[in-house]
Structure 1
Amino acid sequence: MKRLTPIFWMSLGLVSLTLSILLISDLMIGLIPDQAAQIFTYRQKYSEAMAIQYSLLAQRGDDQAIQQALDLLVERNADIQSVALVLESGEIMAQAGPHGALWNQPSGGHSTADHIQIPIFNGDLHWGTLQLRFPSPDTGAWANVLDNNWVRFLALVMVYGFLGYFLYMKRTLRQLDPSSVVPMRVQAAFDVLAEGVVFLDGDDRIVLANRAFGLIVDVNPSDLIGSTLDRFEWTSPDTANPLISYPWKAARLDKSLNLDVPLVWERMGQTVKKFRVNCTPIFGERKQVRGILVSFNDVTELEGTIQELELSKTELEKLAHQDPLTGCCNRRALFEAFENQWDRVQRDGTDLVCIMGDIDHFKSYNDRFGHAVGDQVIQIVANVLSTALRPLDIIGRYGGEEFCILLPGQTCVEGMLVAERLRENIERLASTAIRTTSGQKITMSFGVSAAILGASDHLELVAQADKALYVAKENGRNRVEQWTVDEAVAESAQAEKLMSHSVS
């Protein structure tokens, strides 16, 4: 079998480099439009045009004409599987095709590529909604992939690019030897590339470096000839997995491609640039590695953008689960944590304490000092409560001036002690933290319940603690009360008494 020549491998490496540039350019600036987005836009505009016609029919009140139009629409358009006109009340006024079986209401009420819904107005009044069911875009089938213009273009570049590189290098390069003189045409060809490209000989000495690599390391490309890449401070971006061997050395040792290796170039101990490095070994006639083609793709800005997006995502998730005024869990995050803790109680047989707390006479702060001072009172109370809890405890703003606290693994007796400590801290610390309240004392009332007291689910546990809080309010405020089974019996007796009184 005839051995593959070094020119073949060099041409293959250059084609890989060219395809990498095209793919990265498409990722960065979007050279090719999104086919799925185009289909969605076309269907949206088509549906809007249909909605305008049905809006005119709706204004005339011609129900029969609307039904006929829907039937014709489905009959003459193979892309439309079903269509329905739904009134504001939710009643289907007219439909064509098996709409009930095909239509699945999109979440949030927004249109998707295969479920388009357009509002119809009768004058200024929202009269109904036009729902059109289209086939789902099938972008994953091989037939569609091969029919994609972008795939065809890449295949054309791969084939003709390989032939072009092969013929060009066959005419200009005879050997890859450190003593050889690199033709100026080859140097010029690589100088136009945006990626840094370096040719290494059999001893890892630099034979050729293009202009882009010279700009990366701030050295004239001609001054790099004869030196090695080891002169630069290359490290791994992952401190947990330090760099064991440079990728060009690994490619030489393994006699195989070494692609998409992350590297960081440091100068004086500080990160300067981040790269994705591709290494292609170039073989001689006896399959010995005569040299290595190394390309450096600068991804510093790209990774910086990715990090910014990750930080933005983290901030959005934080905002979605935190109360903006207090920094505690909002109601949604509180109940998510409550459900998880309740599941743990059912699974492990542990206890869970729920404490409901409410600021006493809170309305008076808003009335006397304004809502800004009322917000300060809520913030101070939340801070005092949070600092007195364990890291595993959960505190959330239940609503207004009311807070809910979960104590995993605590008993009801321990929960009563915690609630009493919280009450004392509020009475002692909260009032002194706000000077504008003119010395008016800030106090809280607390209600305590625990899973062991017989709640059927987490919602009932909250209700029990809330009823105990109500008792604390009724008994003079600034106190802690525990929900008991006797209270449940008393409530039931009171309810029966009221029912019998109403009957008599």
Structure 2
Amino acid sequence: MEKLKLKMFKLKKFKLKKLKPKKLNINPFVRMSLGLVCLTLCMVLVGDMVLGLTSDERRSLLDQRKKICETLAVQFSKLAEAGEIGTISKTMNSLVAGNPDVMSTALVNINGETLAAAGDHKKYWEPPGENNSTPTHAQVPIFSGEDQWGTVEVSFAKTALDFTGLLEDPLVRFMLFLALAGFAGYMFFMKRSLKHLDPKAVIPDRVRSALDLLAEGVVMVDEKSNIVLANLAFAAKVGKDVDSLLGQSLSKMTWHSSNDTKAKRVKERNLPWIKAMKESNTQTEVLISLTAEDGEKRDFSINSSPIMDGSKNMRGAMATFNDETALQQANSVLADMMDKLKNSQEQSKIQNTELQRLATQDPLTNCLNRRSFFEQSELAWAKSVAESQPLACIMTDIDRFKLVNDTFGQAVGDQVIEAVAKHLTASFRKTDLVCRYGGEEFCILMPAADLGQAVKVAEQARAAIAKDVGGKLKTKTPITVTSSFGVSSLTHGAKDIAELINQADKALYLAKESGRDKVSRWDQVDDDKAA
């Protein structure tokens, strides 16, 4: 089933690649000919604009409209001074009737009142703005003396480009002829002149045939890194034919660093054939990736050497391309497997650490459990006896804990145990062993601490528990939480760790009997009574 899915995936991938549109390759001679034709036409147009070789009907029409406006300004100013509004009206009617380019006119005084009009002025007039004019809407100021008396508004016919007679224009016909004849002439000239520069003619056929037999890609570039020779192997690897590669820049292809996971593009100065020409020495086994036009990535090991003429002048470079795509893919798979193995080892380490924690700590309080406590306390006892160092033990118990559990439930009871455990852990040193001995009872072993030091720390812990724990519980009814402490030390004659813990437990019993929320010492205990 897995093999069938893999085959179907490969088939789909093949079909998708096959349906990709191929990039249009235009013959270099055609490209150069089109470029020269465009350059020639641009030069003709610029010459016409600068020298005015051909007439411009639009320009002539605008000049004519300007003259009409200037004539109206002079005539109507004199008539306005004489107060001959009727003459102005007749003149405007004659202008509209006799000139098809003038659609309408109107005489407006300084207050905006229309005194006379000719043509359908409301239809054609579009105000261009205060004291402004356009090619189709002109405003001519009329003066009486030195003061503006009013304005003559003139609406001209709208102008539009006429493409129907475009081919009748001599300039257009000349440029069309120049384009067709120039293209044919340029093509003929370049093919005749540039055939002697064909790079294939430089290499004998037998040499090209020998290079085509090589499995490695071979490319020769000029001093500008343009390809002058490429064998069949290289053309097949980049997905192009040999002829289309000639003249292209090898450096402009999409080259990326093989060791860069972000596929950062290689700078042109770092490409091996560029360095070979710049440094005049051979570049060997340079790993670079190429992304072809179809999106396929290939990894190459490239060797490149400079090419010099007899006068030691740099003429180009030769480069060989050894395809290491399969090897790099295998290395990538191996690296991925190594990463997974490393992650698996790290996960195992984390899990082992968690198992170790679960095996040595109480899950509710994170204090040591009894098994781990006894293992470490035996070592602490042996070290203290061997080095004659003091050792103290404390037993503590939450007062009236059963009443709290019965009244408020086990969940609140667990909160009380957790809160007391946090205070104990915070009160004692990191080197002290804090153990949940059972239920609501805790045992603390203090290496290198005498009886007085242990009593002092126990008193501090007792006061902190009585002050803080009850108020921080999440209960509707306030709870008072206290603890009693019993303290013993190595100086009281215990023969082993079990007896030392028993002494501290009896001191705890004394604290309970004395009213609770107290710290009692073993040397205060009447052994027979306690027993």
Q: Does TM-score exceed 0.5, indicating one fold?
A: no
The structure, 1 or 2, with the larger RCO (C-alpha pairs under 8 Å, 6+ apart) is: 1
TMscore range, shorter length? 0.3 to 0.5
